């Protein structure tokens, strides 16, 4: 039986599944239920400094992008960090940690960019007995207007500065949570590392407007006839998050820094994808908010089955295994040639591949043969672009076949070479560096 | 049949609740949530097979996409643009052998997209809306067209011509328009007086004058129509039914199935419609199924539907046959009626000879059986049965009016469509397609300043 437990920047957890800092980890009641359900850890919903509690809107704070069958594709929120009293939160954190010593309890923090503010809260957080802290430099709505959250995460110098303070004032592991609302995620990650961060977590949510009510011509969700951009999450952001995780994992300046992967994770498969691209733990929010805490049992079950089937002893063995497959475009092998192949036994003759290719790609799929409906790839036109594979409604009906070295590409008439050739050495590249 | 007994044919076999339940909508309309979910199953196929399978070429992928996109009015527009009787067809079409038979989801999921149900959803929504006349009539052309027969072919033709700006005189022999939509189709397929509600909408286009109780019984009538109009369309349907040509056909209790269904459709109270305790329906088409099922629904104890060939040869689809069985009808194949047996002037039983195929022809194999019956419903097909047509000089083919690919008859200025023409398929949707085909041709000719057959 494969082991699911992990160690993440010194924090031990019975499995890699943590609940992200968000409404599900708002208070002891929820966190207790999460631990009972089997979550390996939680990142407690972001604490604010002592004083009058924050206020949230008293109207819709969530919006969703739904498929026709109302399955959730994307989700957004304008909820602020905790609106509960600091003392209450700290007492509950301490009590929960005492009751669940084997679980990871990380405390998310967001206070103004003043050293005194951080110093004051860090000592009190450490006293709870928690396992680590996460710096919320990601929240893109509300708090960012007050100079916190993503307003910090978008300025690498601030990240380094605040991370440095935290490392100075606490012995707890420091995880820096990054905002995706930047042009290049590597800069904030490097800044976190420069400040001494023990780990980074990403992504926080993406600036978003969920839609417009076409009857009232009001953006949604709206409070009193007006709305504001929220933070976007859920399955739709997963590809964005995977890329950012991989960018940091393969950046020579940050390679090796522990990464807690976040963004649209709802199943063991999603989690494994993050881990394969370098994440050491994963955090979940949206899926739990849709289905409840029980999903962790299905995630753990699937993860264990996968590791067992692959003969892997632990989650750590899988970490980063897909990273070598990620590279820059300029290093892609331009000598490889693929052709789409349609399995006629599986084809249901909907013709989507044909019309997609005909109207928008390379006119490489037939629509008839001998006057009858028939969809077949024309190798002499096919560039192997994968569009047909993606629009086909039948799994594995259309696949790409890699031509073997020595075969002739009927589109170009050239024999496929066994040698590698990327753009850096391509004869058409005036700036080629290799021969 | 040793003991004397009276034939048991009577109305009021059931409670009021049972009648209401039995004749309720056979396929209750989809809710909005169901429609949107079902619409999402459509793959928006290229050159969609469903569209090709529809005689009126409704753009099925587009109307379904519009339902999914919360543009139900646009969906109805797509449907009615191709088929102004799309609401009726959605109820009556044997979709299982048309659009839904070729749906690619059959191959993938074993279940087609419910195209008929979605079509009904869209058209019903439009009809129920305040401003449901989506078509605007073209400026008056000054041309006059006579349409004889207000069944599906005539209605479709009249609507299209009126839309194009022509002035249409629409005649029907019956007391109400609608033809088989009103008198023929099973009651549970078209509840709430749908046929008349649809006709009201069709006439709402304007430019159509309806005259009921007008029958084509003399050759001079057609001559006069030709003189007084720029074109004439005949959508007469089939006025007569085939005879069994067996002894005993005139016995009491032997009823024409078309008539039986018509009576049932027109009855405001189903409890007034008499039905036998034991009913034998002879025939294998949709009329036979409709008559058999409705006999059962009216409270007949035993209903035998008897067809002289096998299940595959029946013109009623396998699904229709299944529906009949589910409703309690016993279907017998390979039996041909030989004699109707009577007692005291009333039918008591039917003697059948078992059939088999020999070199492609039906032959009796010598075995016989008798099915007892208080009522026998004849449903072995209809025929033109109007001698006036040949007197008018209309050429016939296979006993029905011969037309060319545009629906033109052998008489200049006269078009025909629906069941009365040789290619008639006995389907509402085919009749609509043929009515529209003729309307297109008539419109083109009327717009042509060098009208080839008048000038």
Q: Rounded to an integer, what distance in angstroms lies between the CA atom of residue A373 and that of residue A349?
A: 7
Q: Rounded to an integer, what distance in angstroms lies between the CA atom of residue B189 and that of residue B265?
A: 11
Q: Rounded to an integer, what distance in angstroms lies between the CA atom of residue A161 and that of residue B144?
A: 88
Q: Looking at residue B74, what is its pLDDT?
A: 96
Q: Looking at residue B386, what is its pLDDT?
A: 85
CA neighbor of A132 nearest in space, from A122, A143, A147, A144: A122
Q: Looking at residue A421, what is its pLDDT?
A: 96
Q: Which two tokens stand for residue B339?
A: 């004699």
Q: Give the model's confidence band at A434: pLDDT under 50 very low, under 70 low, under 90 confident, else very high.
A: low
**Which of B37, B46, B107 lies closest to A69 in CB terms?**
B37
Q: Rounded to an integer, what distance in angstroms lies between the CA atom of residue B406 and that of residue B439?
A: 9
Cα torsion for A418, A422, A428, A430, to the nearest 10°? -140
- For an interface test with A, give the residue of B40, B60, B104 to mutate (most A CBs within 10 A): B104
pLDDT at B5 over 90: no
Quick: pLDDT tens for B52-97. 999 999 999 999 999 999 999 999 999 999 999 999 999 999 999 9
CB atoms within 10 A of CB B34: 15
Quick: pLDDT tens for B130-151. 999 999 999 999 999 999 999 9
CA neighbor of B204 nearest in space, from B120, B136, B151: B136
Place of tokens 């999450």: A233
**Marked catalytic residue, from A9, A139, A285, A347:** A139
Q: Rounded to an integer, what distance in angstroms lies between the CA atom of residue A60 and that of residue A67?
A: 20
Residues 6+ apart with CB under 8 A from B304: B278, B279, B280, B281, B329, B330, B331, B332, B371, B373
pLDDT at A262 over 80: yes
* A139 flagged as catalytic: yes
Bridge partners, residue B146, by sequence: B169, B232
pLDDT at B6 over 80: no
A349 and chain B in contact, CB less than 8 A = yes
Q: Looking at residue A357, what is its pLDDT?
A: 98
Quick: pLDDT tens for B192-215. 899 999 999 999 999 999 999 999
Q: Rounded to an integer, what distance in angstroms lies between the CA atom of residue B39 and that of residue B31?
A: 12
Q: Looking at residue B317, what is its pLDDT?
A: 87
Residues 6+ apart with CB under 8 A from A199: A8, A9, A173, A174, A175, A176, A257, A258, A259, A260, A280
Q: Looking at residue A7, what is its pLDDT?
A: 97
Residue A349: closest C-alpha in chain B: B104
Residue B29 burial by Cβ neighbours in a 10 Å radius (0-12, 13-18, 19+): middle
| A79-88 average pLDDT score | 96
Q: Rounded to an integer, what distance in angstroms lies between the CA atom of residue A85 and that of residue B285?
A: 78
Q: Which two tokens stand for residue A166?
A: 């935290």
Q: Which two tokens stand for residue B24?
A: 């309720």
pLDDT at B410 over 90: yes
Q: Looking at residue B455, what is its pLDDT?
A: 40
Q: Looking at residue B4, what is its pLDDT?
A: 56
Contact A67 B37 (CB under 8 A): no
pLDDT at B380 over 60: yes
Cβ-Cβ contacts under 8 Å between A and B: the total is: 37
Quick: pLDDT tens for A137-195. 999 998 999 999 999 999 999 999 999 999 999 999 999 999 999 999 999 999 999 99
Q: Looking at residue B1, what is its pLDDT?
A: 45
Quick: pLDDT tens for A56-78. 999 999 999 999 889 999 999 99
Residues 6+ apart with CB under 8 A from A244: A178, A180, A185, A202, A203
| A318-323 average pLDDT score | 97
Q: Looking at residue B452, what is its pLDDT?
A: 56
Least confident stretch, A27-41, A100-114, B355-369: B355-369
pLDDT above 90 coverage of chain A, percent: 97
The predicted complex's ipTM stands at: 0.84
Spell out which chain B residues touch chain A, with contact meaning CB-CB distance below 8 angstroms. 36-37, 39-40, 43-49, 68, 104-105, 107-108
Q: Which two tokens stand for residue A161?
A: 């500065």
| A345-361 average pLDDT score | 97
pLDDT at B3 over 70: no
pLDDT at A402 over 70: yes
Residues 6+ apart with CB under 8 A from B455: none
């Amino acid at each position: 039986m494969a082991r699911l437990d992990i160690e993440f920047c010194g924090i031990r957890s019975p499995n890699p599944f943590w609940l992200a800092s968000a409404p599900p980890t708002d208070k002891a009641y929820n966190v207790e239920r999460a631990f009972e359900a089997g979550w390996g850890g939680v990142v407690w919903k972001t604490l604010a400094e002592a004083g009058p509690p924050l206020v949230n809107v008293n109207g819709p704070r969530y919006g969703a992008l739904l498929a026709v069958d109302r399955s959730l594709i994307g989700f957004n929120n304008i909820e602020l960090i905790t609106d509960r009293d600091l003392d209450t939160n700290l007492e509950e954190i301490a009590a929960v940690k005492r009751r669940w010593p084997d679980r990871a309890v990380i405390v998310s923090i967001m206070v103004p960019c003043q050293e005194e503010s951080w110093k004051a809260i860090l000592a009190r957080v450490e006293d709870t007995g928690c396992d680590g802290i996460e710096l919320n430099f990601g929240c893109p709505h509300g708090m960012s207007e007050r100079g916190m959250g993503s307003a910090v995460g978008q300025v690498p110098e601030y990240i380094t500065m605040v991370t440095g303070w935290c490392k100075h004032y606490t012995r707890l592991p420091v995880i820096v949570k990054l905002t995706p609302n930047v042009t290049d995620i590597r800069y904030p990650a490097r800044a976190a590392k420069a400040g001494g961060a023990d780990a980074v977590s990403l992504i926080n949510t993406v600036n978003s407007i969920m839609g417009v009510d076409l009857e009232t011509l009001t953006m949604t969700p709206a409070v009193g006839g007006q709305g504001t951009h929220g933070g976007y999450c859920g399955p739709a952001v997963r590809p964005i998050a995977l890329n950012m995780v991989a960018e940091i994992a393969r950046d020579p300046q940050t390679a090796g820094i522990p990464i807690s992967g976040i963004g649209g994770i709802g199943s063991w498969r999603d989690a494994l994808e993050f881990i394969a691209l370098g994440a050491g733990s994963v955090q979940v929010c949206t899926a739990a908010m849709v289905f409840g805490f029980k999903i962790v049992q299905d995630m753990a079950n699937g993860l264990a089955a996968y590791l067992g089937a692959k003969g892997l002893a632990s989650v750590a063995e899988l970490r980063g295994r897909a990273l070598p497959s990620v590279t820059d475009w300029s290093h892609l092998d331009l000598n490889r040639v693929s052709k789409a192949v349609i399995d006629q036994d599986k084809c249901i003759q909907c013709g989507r591949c044909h019309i997609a290719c005909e109207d928008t790609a390379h006119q490489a799929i037939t629509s008839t043969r001998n006057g009858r409906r028939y969809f077949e790839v024309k190798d002499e036109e096919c560039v192997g672009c994968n569009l047909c594979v993606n629009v086909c409604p039948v799994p594995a009906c259309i696949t790409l076949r890699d031509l073997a070295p020595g075969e002739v590409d009927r589109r170009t008439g050239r024999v496929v070479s066994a040698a590698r050739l990327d753009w850096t050495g391509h004869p058409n590249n005036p700036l080629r560096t290799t021969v | 049949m040793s003991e004397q007994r009276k034939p048991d044919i009577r109305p009021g076999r059931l409670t009021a609740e049972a009648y209401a339940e039995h004749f309720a909508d056979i396929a209750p309309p989809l809710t909005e949530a169901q429609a949107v979910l079902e619409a999402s199953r459509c793959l928006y196929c290229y050159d969609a097979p469903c569209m090709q399978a529809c005689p009126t070429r409704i753009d099925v992928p587009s109307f379904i996409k519009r339902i999914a996109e919360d543009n139900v009015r646009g969906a109805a527009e797509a449907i009615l643009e191709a088929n102004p009787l799309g609401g009726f067809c959605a109820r009556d079409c044997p979709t299982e052998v048309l659009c839904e038979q070729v749906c690619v989801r059959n191959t993938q999921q074993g279940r087609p997209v419910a195209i008929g149900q979605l079509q009904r959803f869209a058209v019903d929504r439009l009809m129920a809306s305040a401003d449901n006349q989506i078509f605007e009539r073209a400026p008056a052309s000054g041309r006059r067209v006579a349409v004889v027969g207000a069944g599906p072919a005539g209605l479709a033709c009249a609507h299209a011509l009126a839309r194009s700006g022509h002035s249409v005189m629409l005649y029907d022999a019956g007391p109400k328009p609608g033809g088989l939509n009103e008198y023929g189709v099973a009651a549970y397929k078209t509840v709430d007086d749908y046929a008349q509600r649809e006709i009201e909408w069709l006439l709402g286009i304007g430019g159509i004058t309806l005259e009921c109780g007008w029958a084509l019984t003399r050759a001079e009538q057609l001559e006069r129509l030709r003189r007084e109009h720029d074109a004439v369309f005949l959508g007469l349907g089939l006025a007569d039914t085939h005879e069994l040509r067996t002894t005993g056909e005139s016995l009491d209790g032997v009823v024409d199935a078309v008539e039986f269904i018509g009576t049932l459709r027109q009855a405001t109270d189903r409890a007034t419609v008499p039905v036998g305790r034991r009913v034998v329906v002879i025939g294998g088409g949709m009329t036979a199924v409709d008559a058999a099922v409705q006999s059962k629904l009216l409270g007949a104890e035993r209903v035998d539907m008897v067809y002289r060939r096998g299940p595959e040869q029946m013109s009623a689809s396998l699904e229709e046959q299944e529906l009949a069985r589910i409703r309690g009808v016993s279907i017998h194949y390979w039996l041909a009626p030989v004699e109707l047996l009577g007692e005291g002037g009333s039918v008591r039983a039917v003697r059948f000879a078992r059939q088999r195929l020999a070199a492609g022809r039906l032959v009796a194999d010598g075995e016989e059986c008798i099915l007892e019956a208080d009522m026998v419903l004849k449903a072995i097909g209809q025929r033109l049965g109007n001698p006036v047509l040949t007197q008018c000089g209309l050429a016939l083919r296979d006993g029905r009016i011969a037309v060319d690919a545009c629906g033109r008859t052998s008489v200049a200025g006269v078009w025909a469509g629906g069941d009365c023409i040789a290619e008639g398929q006995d389907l509402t949707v085919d009749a609509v397609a043929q009515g529209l085909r003729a309307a297109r041709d008539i419109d083109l000719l009327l717009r042509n300043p060098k009208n080839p057959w008048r000038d």
